[in-house]
Amino acid sequence: MLASIPSAIVIGVDGIPVTVEVHVGNGIPGLTIVGLPDASCREARDRVRAAVMAAGITWPNRKITINLAPSDTRKVGSGLDLAMAVGVLVACGELKADNVAGLAFVGELGLDGTVRPVPGVVPRVDAVAEDHVVVPWRSSADAALVSGRTVHGVRTLREVFDALAQESRLWPLHPVPEPDVVEQVVADLADVRGQDALCDALELSAAGGHHLLMIGPPGAGKTMLASRLPGLLPDLDARTAMETSRVHSAAGLTLGGLVTRPPFRAPHHSTTMVALVGGGSESMRPGEVSLASGGVLFLDELGEFPPAVLDALRQPLEEGVIRVSRARFSAVLPARVLMVAAMNPCPCGEAGRPGACRCPDGLLARYRRRLSGPLLDRFDLRVHVDRPAVAALLGGEPGTPTAQRAERVLLARERARERGVEVNSQLGGAQLEEAAPLHIDAENLLKGALTSGRLSARGLSRIRRVALTLADLGGHRGPLLAPQIAAAMALRVDVTGTNGIAA
Amino acid sequence: MSGDLPGATDAAFRRLSPAERTAACLVGLAHLPGLGPATLRRCHLEHGAEESWFDIASGHHRRVVPVVEQLARMKPAVTDKMLKEASTRDVVADLRRQQQPGWGLHVLGTRAYPERLARDPDAPAVLFTCGDLGLLSRPTVGIVGTRNATLAGRQLAESMAAELARAGVAVVSGLALGIDGASHRGAIGIAADAGPVAAVGVVASGLDVVYPRRHLDLHRRVASSGLMVSETPAGVRPDAWRFPARNRLIAGLSDAVVVVESRIAGGSMHTVDEALIRGVPVMAVPGPPGAPASQGTNQLLFDGANLARNAADVLLAIGVDPHLGAAPPHGSAPPEAPEPTPAELSVLDVLEATPSSLAEVVAATGRTVEEVAHALSTLEIAGRIGRSGAWYEVSAAGRSGR
Ligand SMILES: [Zn+2]
């Protein structure tokens, strides 16, 4: 007897349909899996057998061969377990093939017969052609995000067997599972006092998609500021929401619903390269950068990240995707992140302030050398963060609330869309020329900076993009003015400069 | 006496003149770890340079009273290191290394030893120089201050040094970053067509070791057309203990010491102490209250140091006619800078108190980032403020232009 059951695997963030073909015949009893299974997939042999027996069904004492098609794709992970078990039961006549028709199965089996969640339920369900999909109960809400599918959440293999035993297929009714991750509450910028310039920089970053580097001593509130950035970003559009949900699902998170708010990820500097950029196992699981796609990637203590890791970030930041390739596979993972980073300027915390920093010159130079020029160049905004004055903390006026700033961000992004881009940081050279003409004073200011060597040609277009976002936020139309250019330049601190120590 | 000496060195040593032998032994002693200037001087004056060297090199250091007294305060590990070092040194080679063209080696108590230091209570037993010793017979002023100086501080040090040099004063400093470097630069800039530049660099390393590396060029220029002074033998890096020792030489070589900028506990305060011990007048440049770079100098003024607002104040204090050094009058007056706007004035107010970042100026003035940034850029172009890294600070012109 032969059975053919649809399922899917996930590579990177993409589901790939797989057909589980089961043949039961005569010969030495046993179970063989062919069709490029990886180690965890091959171990299905033991899980499937134990789960079937735990469900109270007699294991057919015959020669069973399972073929995973298409045979040229490596089958990774345990998500095909359930389909294999169902296939065995159909092939040996325990279940009728007709009752199983039109159904796809996703899930891992425990030795006790439970059906367990696997990473990537969203892309898997998306990949199968069948309208009805049987998934682990805990993943049922996530699977339901894929439009046009009827999802049946199950807890045990026995439940599946009972439902498929009758033609009517009565599926068990379980309550909707609680999500693992509760949506993070983003704190308001109104309770940030005495840091107006920094809040403005955050708003600029959110409005124009400008990567932001904050340089300042511990206790200046860099993390506090960065964590408020997602509040300034608009809701994810439908496409990005689905993409982000797929990524999070592929990474093994249970979503509990469509991800509609920009994610915020803050990997520690001890995070491995694989955990950061993804692609560790053969399933090419997405890393932190992809998990932040559509939202904010916050790298605290940037200088502490290994240089190789920082190097690996450059290409994704440029292209918006991560290309990982291993011996047999390659995958393209999304990486459209707004990068916010923080670093300590020096051990004494005065950051080279003339007359106040007590650090020897060599030490400051060593701190600066940790960051490569090309990486620093990616930050359109580089601002110095100081500990706010005590007076501002105690008696200062509250800052502008997040909602008010978010409204301006939304309007500024609308202006960018009129120019054919999502945010101003994506404007190409020609588009920028057209979108950001310069007032004569602004032009003279830039000329002066270029002549004195304080500004490079590369820096020039970055300055113009930031100035354009400033103009958009201020509701200004027409050629860019000198104050806008001056602000854009002042918000791009020369990190590698001599920091006030005269040579 | 030299019976314990290794053969080869012995023969070479015997071919030296008596003066050279003393010099060689002093250079050898100066190389020894743990043997500081005071002990070295006592060895030279009380026990004799040659006797001291050979006693220590042959392990009979207990015969050398100053060394024994010094050893009593030393860790045994350092003692071992010193004895080991002494037993392997070739003092003839050490002396040869010191005998380079243009270099001088001066032994305390000989006629060639600079008179200024000969009278010093803490005079080095041996002094290494490079350049024109004649500079030391001019009036001298030490200009010192913090390494991490403000722009205005550096500019003031430079112009003050230039004016002093123009008035015929030799400017003494330590070739460090910040105020030191600015002083040397100012003095060098006033090179007369003939004759040396009025810059005296006192360093903690051997004369052939450049520290800090960023001052390689400055080091070369002072050595080639001014005067370099050190009590550290050639090839030796500046260990931490050598900097305070160097500071006493700056004080000892100066008719007055001017502190341009210093924190309360800065290294310049050590130079001040050394000057006070020697009765050398101490002067200080006033700074804005609250500015970290001026806390030390303002404290000095409070404590009674002389006020040094400009070069004329300093020249008066050392008895030189200030008009000698008057700058040649400008051909035409500089163009009038436009009146600062209210935004620019409020920015200047903040920066005069202390160097600040953009965010700090925004917070302190309550103005927008655009307003502040525009004011900053206009002031920078006008030369009233300077910028380095994240920091904006008033220039000397910005300070006096109000
Ligand atoms: Zn520091």
| Three state DSSP letters for A163-192 | HHHCCCCCCCCCCCCCCCCCCCCCCCHHHC
Work out the pLDDT band at B272, boundaries 50, 70, 90: very high
Between A471 and A187, the more confident residue is: A471
CATH code (residue B243): 3.40.50.450
Query: The tokens of A126 are what?
Result: 């998306």
Give me the pLDDT at residue B258, please: 98
| Residues B293 and B384 grouped into a single domain | no
The residue in chain A having the minimum alpha-carbon distance to the alpha carbon of residue B154 is A502
Which A residues in the span 112-151 are in contact with B, Cβ-Cβ below 8 Å? none
Q: Is residue B273 part of a domain?
A: yes
A497 pLDDT above the threshold of 70 = no
Rounded to an integer, what distance in angstroms lies between the CA atom of residue A475 and that of residue A234? 18
Rounded to an integer, what distance in angstroms lies between the CA atom of residue A313 and that of residue B298? 49
| Residues B261 and B148 grouped into a single domain | yes
> For A279-291, how does the pLDDT look when each residue is reduced to its tens digit (9 = 90+)?
877 778 899 999 9
Looking at CATH, the fold of the domain delimited by A2-164 is given as Ribosomal Protein S5; domain 2 (3.30.230)
Between A319 and A104, the more confident residue is: A104
Look at the block and give the residue holding tokens 């006629």. B111
Q: What share of chain B is helix, strand, coil (3-state, %, to 5)?
A: 50, 10, 40
Residue A385 in contact with partner chain B when CB distance is under 8 A = yes
DSSP sequence for B252-307: HH-SEEEE-S--TT-THHHHHHHHHHTT--EEE----TT-GGGHHHHHHHHTTPEE
Nearest-10 Cα torsion for B128, B131, B132, B135: -70
Rounded to an integer, what distance in angstroms lies between the CA atom of residue A129 and that of residue A126? 8
Rg of the Cα atoms in chain A: 28
| Residues B66 and B126 grouped into a single domain | no
Number of domains within chain B: 3
Query: The tokens of A375 are what?
Result: 């990486």
Q: Tell me the mean pLDDT in the region B266-270.
A: 90
> For A121-158, how does the pLDDT look when each residue is reduced to its tens digit (9 = 90+)?
999 999 999 999 999 999 998 999 998 899 999 999 99
Residue B288 in contact with partner chain A when CB distance is under 8 A = no
Minimum-distance CB partner of B362 among A197, A357, A497: A197
Which A residues in the span 160-199 are in contact with B, Cβ-Cβ below 8 Å? 194-198
Could you say which of B65, B97, B129 is where a domain stops?
B97
Q: Which of A371-380, B370-379, B386-395 has the lowest mean pLDDT?
A: A371-380
DSSP sequence for A16-82: EEEEEEEEEESSS-EEEEESSB-HHHHTHHHHHHHHHHHTT-PPP-SEEEEEEESTTS-B-SSTTHH
Structural domain containing residue B360 = 342-400
Q: What percent of chain A has pLDDT over 70?
A: 96
Give me the pLDDT at residue B332, please: 47
- Judged by CB atoms closer than 8 Å, whether chains meet at B177 and A388 is answered as no
B234: Cα within 13 Å, side-chain hemisphere: 17
B71 pLDDT above the threshold of 80 = no
A452: Cα within 13 Å, side-chain hemisphere: 10
Residue B400 in contact with partner chain A when CB distance is under 8 A = no
Give me the pLDDT at residue A495, please: 76
- Mean pLDDT, all residues of chain B: 89
A217 pLDDT above the threshold of 50 = yes
The residue in chain B having the minimum alpha-carbon distance to the alpha carbon of residue A199 is B359
Q: Phi, psi at residue A416, to the nearest 5°?
A: -60, -40
CATH code (residue B382): 1.10.10.10
Find out whether B148 and A501 touch, Cβ atoms under 8 Å.
Answer: yes
> For A386-409, how does the pLDDT look when each residue is reduced to its tens digit (9 = 90+)?
887 776 666 667 889 999 999 999
Distance A218 CA to ligand 1 centre (A): 12
Containing H/E element for A108?
Answer: strand A108-109
Residue B149 in contact with partner chain A when CB distance is under 8 A = yes
Give me the pLDDT at residue A257, please: 80
Look at residues B272, B280, B275, B320 and name the one whose alpha carbon lies nearest to residue B163.
B320
| Residues B64 and B180 grouped into a single domain | no
Find out whether A368 and A302 touch, Cβ atoms under 8 Å.
Answer: no
Rounded to an integer, what distance in angstroms lies between the CA atom of residue A132 and that of residue A127? 12
Look at residues A17, A11, A2, A1 and name the one whose alpha carbon lies nearest to residue A105.
A17
Residue B217 in contact with partner chain A when CB distance is under 8 A = no
Strand partners, A213: A341, A382
A66 pLDDT above the threshold of 90 = yes
Rounded to an integer, what distance in angstroms lies between the CA atom of residue B345 and that of residue A255? 55
- Judged by CB atoms closer than 8 Å, whether chains meet at A502 and B182 is answered as yes
Give me the pLDDT at residue A353, please: 84
Look at the block and give the residue holding tokens 């500071």. B247
Query: Strand, helix or coil at B109?
Result: coil
Q: Tell me the mean pLDDT in the region A2-9.
A: 94
Q: Which residues in chain A are closer than 8 Å to B377, comparing Cβ atoms? A: 445, 482, 486, 489-490
Residue A463 in contact with partner chain B when CB distance is under 8 A = no
B3 pLDDT above the threshold of 50 = no
Q: Is residue B144 part of a domain?
A: yes
Query: The tokens of A402 are what?
Result: 């997040």
Query: Strand, helix or coil at A372?
Result: coil
Give me the pLDDT at residue A181, please: 61
Look at the block and give the residue holding tokens 């002083």. B183
The residue in chain A having the minimum alpha-carbon distance to the alpha carbon of residue B175 is A503
CB atoms under 10 Å from CB of B259, counted, come to 28
Q: Which residues in chain A are closer than 8 Å to B146, comparing Cβ atoms? A: 355
- DSSP state, B387? E
Rounded to an integer, what distance in angstroms lies between the CA atom of residue A413 and that of residue A240? 16
Minimum-distance CB partner of A386 among B360, B370, B373: B360
Residue B259 in contact with partner chain A when CB distance is under 8 A = no
Find out whether A494 and A371 touch, Cβ atoms under 8 Å.
Answer: no
Distance A387 CA to ligand 1 centre (A): 14
Residue A207 in contact with partner chain B when CB distance is under 8 A = no
| Residues B91 and B122 grouped into a single domain | no
Q: How many residues does chain A have?
A: 503
How distant, in Å, are the alpha carbons of A121, A384, B372 from that of A461? 43, 22, 22
Find out whether B253 and B228 touch, Cβ atoms under 8 Å.
Answer: no
How distant, in Å, are the alpha carbons of A204, B17, B94, B192, B292 from that of B23? 69, 10, 10, 35, 45
Q: Looking at this predicted complex, what is its ipTM? A: 0.84
Torsion over CA: B389, B390, B396, B402 (sign): positive
Q: Is residue B110 part of a domain?
A: no
Parallel, antiparallel or unpaired: strands B227-230 and B126-131: antiparallel
Residue A419 to chain B, least CA–CA distance (Å): 24
Query: The tokens of A325 are what?
Result: 């390739």
Residue B182 in contact with partner chain A when CB distance is under 8 A = yes
Look at residues B184, B160, B162, B189 and name the one whose alpha carbon lies nearest to residue B173.
B184
How distant, in Å, are the alpha carbons of A234, A363, A422, A471 from that of A409? 8, 39, 12, 12
| Residues B175 and B70 grouped into a single domain | no
Query: Strand, helix or coil at A104?
Result: strand
| Residues B165 and B293 grouped into a single domain | yes
B140 pLDDT above the threshold of 60 = yes
Which pTM does this prediction carry? 0.80
Residue A443 in contact with partner chain B when CB distance is under 8 A = no
Minimum-distance CB partner of A500 among B148, B291, B376: B148
For chain A, the domains span: 2-164, 189-418
B266: Cα within 13 Å, side-chain hemisphere: 32
> For A418-468, how does the pLDDT look when each residue is reduced to its tens digit (9 = 90+)?
999 999 999 998 999 999 999 999 999 999 999 888 888 888 999 999 999
Distance A221 CA to ligand 1 centre (A): 18
Give me the pLDDT at residue A500, please: 33
Work out the pLDDT band at A496, boundaries 50, 70, 90: low
Q: Tell me the mean pLDDT in the region B142-168.
A: 94
The residue in chain B having the minimum alpha-carbon distance to the alpha carbon of residue A467 is B370
Q: Is residue B323 part of a domain?
A: no
Between B78 and A155, the more confident residue is: A155
Find out whether B231 and B105 touch, Cβ atoms under 8 Å.
Answer: no
Ramachandran area for residue B98 (φ above 0: left; ψ -120 to 50: alpha; else beta):
alpha
Rounded to an integer, what distance in angstroms lies between the CA atom of residue B255 and that of residue B234? 28
A23 pLDDT above the threshold of 70 = yes
> For B285-298, how does the pLDDT look when each residue is reduced to its tens digit (9 = 90+)?
999 988 889 999 99
| Residues B247 and B274 grouped into a single domain | yes
> For B194-251, how does the pLDDT look when each residue is reduced to its tens digit (9 = 90+)?
567 899 999 999 999 999 988 999 999 999 999 999 999 999 999 999 999 999 999 9
Rounded to an integer, what distance in angstroms lies between the CA atom of residue B212 and that of residue B178? 11
Residue A355 in contact with partner chain B when CB distance is under 8 A = yes
Work out the pLDDT band at A77, boundaries 50, 70, 90: confident
> For A78-108, how does the pLDDT look when each residue is reduced to its tens digit (9 = 90+)?
999 999 999 999 999 999 999 999 999 999 9
Q: Which CATH superfamily is domain A189-418 in?
A: P-loop containing nucleotide triphosphate hydrolases (3.40.50.300)
Rounded to an integer, what distance in angstroms lies between the CA atom of residue B73 and that of residue B55? 19
A300 pLDDT above the threshold of 60 = yes
- Judged by CB atoms closer than 8 Å, whether chains meet at B363 and A194 is answered as yes
| Residues B303 and B172 grouped into a single domain | yes
Residue A107 to chain B, least CA–CA distance (Å): 54
Find out whether B205 and B229 touch, Cβ atoms under 8 Å.
Answer: no
Sheet bearing A132-136, strands edge to edge: A103-105, A132-136, A150-154
Strand partners, A24: A64
Look at residues A399, A140, A401, A406 and name the one whose alpha carbon lies nearest to residue A261.
A406
- Judged by CB atoms closer than 8 Å, whether chains meet at B389 and A498 is answered as yes
Find out whether B43 and B52 touch, Cβ atoms under 8 Å.
Answer: yes
Residue B352 in contact with partner chain A when CB distance is under 8 A = no
Helices (H), B32-150: 37-42, 49-57, 65-72, 76-88, 91-98, 115-118
Give me the pLDDT at residue A194, please: 83
Q: Is residue B234 part of a domain?
A: yes
How distant, in Å, are the alpha carbons of A209, A430, A484, B374 from that of A435? 16, 9, 15, 22
- Judged by CB atoms closer than 8 Å, whether chains meet at B146 and A355 is answered as yes
Look at residues A116, A55, A140 and name the one whose alpha carbon lies nearest to residue A89.
A55
| Residues B208 and B313 grouped into a single domain | yes
A502 pLDDT above the threshold of 70 = no
Q: What share of chain A is helix, strand, coil (3-state, %, to 5)?
A: 40, 15, 45
